[in-house]
Every structure is written in C-alpha cells, then in structure tokens.
C-alpha cells in the first residue's frame, strides 16, 4: 500500500511534527510513505530527508496563489498512483482534493483530510483563511473522510458546516524515549541559562501567535512571585525584555529544555485541538497547567491543572500552587508520564492511521 501525505508546509509546528514522527517511524518499519509540501523548506523537511523519507515540494510561497502547483500535484498523483492520500491542514486539504480530481484518479485513490485545530477565531486571521475554511466546509463531503486530532475539533467543524462521509478522531502520539525525564540534562541546561537549581522554572512551547495566549502567560507571571519562565517557539524573540521571561525562539532541543523546568504552561486562548506541547511535556514527566481549550482537559486528566482561558489570575493561582508544593509537582509528573504511556504513545497513533489507510486500500482494491 502506498500512502502520500500532503501538507501545507514543514516548519516546526504540531501538525508538521506529528507528520514527521509518523512517516519516520513507518519508514523505519519498512514502509515507503511520501510527503508533498505545498511550500518549500522547513525544519521537519530536514528531519524527514535525514531519515530517508521521500519529500517533494510544490514551490508555493505563503500568500501568493499559484495554480501551477495544483497541476504539479495532480501530475505527481498520476505518476505515483497512491492508494491513499492523507492531507494535513486546511490549505493542503483543499489543494489535495482539487488535484486528485485533476489527476483522473479520484475513483482509485482514497483521500482523507486532516484537521488539527478546534474552534479557531477566524476573525483574527486574514480573510484568505476564512475563504479556504469555507470552501473546505462546502467540499468536505467529496473527501472520503476527515481525520481530526481532537474531539473538540470534530464538534467545532461540524458547527462550521463540515459534512464528511466519514470522520474519525486519531489522537496525537508521543515518543516516550525521546521525551523522558533527564535530571542530568536538566542541570546542564539550567547552568547554561543561568538558572539556579532551586529556582521554580516554567516553560511554554508555542509559536508566537494570537491563539497561543502569550499575553495571558505574561500577565500571570507578573502576578506570581519567584517564578522564571522559558518561552520557546518561533517568533518568541518578540518577548525579549519582559521581566522573569526568557524567550529562546525556535529550538531543536526541546526535550533537553523540558528536562530543566518544573512545569509546562499551555495558555492558549482558542483553536488548540490536541496540543503536542502538552503531550511532550507529560511524556517528559512534567505537570501541566493548561487552559481549557480543545482537548486539553481530556489529555491531562488528573495529571495536571486546567484553568479557564484568558484568566491570568486563575493561571497565576495554579502556578503558585505548583511552586509551593514540590510533592504535588512530583505526583502529577509521574501521573502525566503514565497517562502518555497508557493512552497516547506514538505507536498507538501510528496503528490508528495504518488501520484507517489499510481499510481504505482494501476498499479501493475491491472496486
């Protein structure tokens, strides 16, 4: 069975990392997935290529429509004849559907869209995104199905008008070998960053974006004494100069950085589906304080603290509770790692995708 993945881009983001983790693991198992990115470059492209996964890009530039890319993808589909196309994120979903029709292989190749967010505030983004989402809602019945990574996303997109033939929730999965407690690495990072061993240190891992709630985090930090905050992610350099906040920008050593902190904070305002940052921190044995956005409460269970979004006082109170209770931090961290191992391991997620794709490949063979 051949599976082609189509994604908007391969920068460092939750969907991009999940795709890379999935394809690299499958490649190591002997499969031959291919990845087509609408736009060139990206850190996950480098990861995929280094692991031996075939990657192509269509040369699209952000904000610059180019219909030639649509025909390029149609040609790739026509030549490679994949049994299944799995697309990831709105723009890739739309382009994959149109290209599949243009390729002449709509009856032979099954297409599953991938939706990675929940209740996005579309008014906070360019009108072009709103147009794409509206088109996806109107055309969703022409895909063979939609894969959501959260139950919240499944509900939110039905409200947006999505009416797929079939939909399924496949949770993100995490490599508990790559993300694991590492006390020695943590001490090293603290020394490098000038943080004392007994300091209470929190971190957030997210690109600088309106949905991610950095302003709520900064307000909570100002209200909480004796806390240092690492802010990790693309664009976070914009937060330089804030009191007790250390912006580190985009990093490729997140597992090592997580080993140096006492808790992870996910302060998102809206839009999260299944947060990779939450899952990675839990796998690393960290307690998590998260806003009640997307599936955060379902993921965390009793292994962390959940607060309302856009409420810096509630967030500050949760941080103070963890700061003052080392035993609680330890207990929640142990529960968090056990929760990931039990319910959200990478192999579990891979198995769910393979079961879905194998079923559709059998259907195609019968037809």
pLDDT beyond 60 at 106: yes
Instruction: Determine the pLDDT at residue 62.
Output: 74
Continuous segment of H or E residues that includes residue 130: helix 127-139
Q: Determine the pLDDT at residue 12.
A: 84
pLDDT(363) > 70: no
Q: What is the pLDDT of residue 133?
A: 96
| pLDDT digits 0-9 by tens, 330-346 | 999 999 999 999 999 99
N- to C-terminal Cα separation, the chain: 15
CATH class of 3-173+346-366: alpha beta
Give the separation between CA 56 and CA 329, rounded to whole angstroms. 44
pLDDT band at residue 367 using 50, 70 and 90 as cut-offs:
very low
Q: pLDDT-based confidence at 362, cuts 50/70/90?
A: very low
Whole-model pTM?
A: 0.93
Q: Which residue has the tokens 């967010």?
A: 117
Provide the percentage of residues in the chain whose pLDDT is more than 70.
97
Domain topology for 183-343: Rossmann fold (3.40.50)
CA dist., res. 5 & res. 274, Å (int): 20
Query: What string of DSSP letters covers 221-240?
Result: HHHSSS-EEEEESTTGGGGT
Give SS3 for 263: strand
Q: Extract the runs of DSSP E, i.e. beta strands, from 58-124.
A: 84-88, 110-115
Rounded-to-integer distance, Cα 6 and Cα 74, Å: 12
Separation CA 297–CA 228 (nearest Å)? 25
Flag the least confident range among 57-66, 136-145, 223-232, 242-251.
Answer: 57-66
Structure confidence at residue 1 as a pLDDT band (50, 70, 90): confident
Q: What average pLDDT does this structure show over 193-207? A: 97
pLDDT-based confidence at residue 63 (cuts at 50, 70, 90): low
Residue 97, SS3?
helix
The 10s digit of each residue's pLDDT in 89-102 is 999 999 999 999 99
pLDDT at 287 over 90: yes
> Residue 360: which pLDDT band, with cuts at 50, 70 and 90?
low
- List, in order, residues 6 or more apart from 77 with CB less than 8 Å away: 4, 85, 99, 100, 103, 105, 109
- List Cα–Cα distances, 366 to 209, 234, 362, in angstroms: 46, 46, 6
Give the whole-angstrom CA distance, residue 152 versus residue 293. 8
For residue 255, with 0-12 CB atoms within 10 Å meaning exposed, 13-18 middle and 19 or more buried, which class applies? Answer: middle
Roughly what angle, to the nearest 10 degrees, separates helices 90-103 and 127-139?
A: 50
pLDDT at 365 over 70: no
Residues of the chain with CATH 3.40.50.2000: 3-173+346-366, 183-343
Whether the Cβ atoms of residue 278 and residue 292 lie closer than 8 Å to each other: no
- Percentage of the residues of the chain whose pLDDT score is greater than 90: 92
Average pLDDT of the chain, as a whole number: 95
Tens digit of each residue's pLDDT (9 = 90 or more) over 147-171: 999 999 999 999 999 999 999 999 9
DSSP 29-65: TT---EEEESS---HHHHHHHHHT-EEEE---BTTB-
- Return the pLDDT at 66: 79
Query: Which tokens hold the place of 367?
Result: 């037809």
pLDDT tens column, 217-273:
999 999 999 999 999 999 999 999 998 999 999 999 999 999 999 999 999 999 999
Query: What angle in degrees, to the nearest 10, is found between the helix axes of 312-323 and 214-223?
Result: 50
Distance CA 164, CA 161 (A): 10
């Amino acid at each position: 069975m051949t599976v082609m993945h189509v994604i908007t881009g391969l920068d460092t983001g939750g969907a991009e990392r999940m795709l890379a983790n999935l394809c690299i693991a499958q490649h190591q198992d002997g499969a031959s997935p291919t990845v087509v990115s609408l736009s060139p470059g990206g850190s996950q492209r480098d990861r995929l290529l280094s692991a031996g996964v075939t990657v192509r890009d269509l040369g699209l530039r952000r904000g610059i429509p180019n219909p030639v890319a649509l025909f390029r993808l149609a040609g790739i589909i026509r030549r490679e004849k994949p049994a299944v196309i799995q697309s990831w994120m709105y723009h890739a979903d739309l382009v994959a559907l149109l290209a599949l029709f243009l390729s002449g292989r709509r009856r032979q190749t099954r297409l599953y869209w991938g939706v990675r967010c929940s209740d996005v505030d579309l008014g906070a983004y360019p009108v072009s995104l709103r147009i794409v989402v509206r088109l996806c809602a109107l055309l969703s019945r022409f895909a063979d199905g939609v894969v959501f990574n959260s139950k919240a996303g499944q509900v939110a997109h039905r409200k947006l008008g999505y009416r797929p033939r079939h939909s399924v929730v496949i949770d993100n999965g995490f490599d508990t070998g790559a993300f694991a407690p590492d006390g020695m690495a943590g001490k090293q990072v603290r020394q490098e960053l000038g943080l004392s061993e007994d300091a209470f240190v929190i971190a957030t891992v997210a690109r600088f974006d309106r949905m991610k709630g950095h302003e709520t985090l900064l307000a909570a930090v100002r209200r909480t004494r004796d806390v240092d905050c690492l802010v990790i992610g693309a664009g976070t350099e914009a937060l330089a100069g804030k009191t007790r906040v250390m912006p580190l920008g985009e990093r490729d050593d997140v597992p090592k950085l997580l080993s140096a902190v006492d808790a992870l904070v996910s302060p998102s305002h809206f839009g999260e589906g299944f947060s990779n940052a939450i899952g990675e921190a839990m796998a690393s044995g960290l307690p998590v304080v998260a806003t009640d956005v997307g599936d955060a409460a379902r993921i965390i269970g009793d292994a962390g603290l959940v607060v309302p979004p856009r409420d810096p006082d509630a967030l500050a109170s949760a941080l103070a509770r963890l700061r003052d209770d080392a035993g609680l931090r330890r207990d929640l961290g142990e529960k968090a790692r056990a929760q990931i191992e039990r319910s959200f391991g990478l192999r579990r997620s891979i198995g769910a995708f393979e079961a879905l794709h194998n079923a559709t490949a059998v259907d195609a063979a019968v037809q």
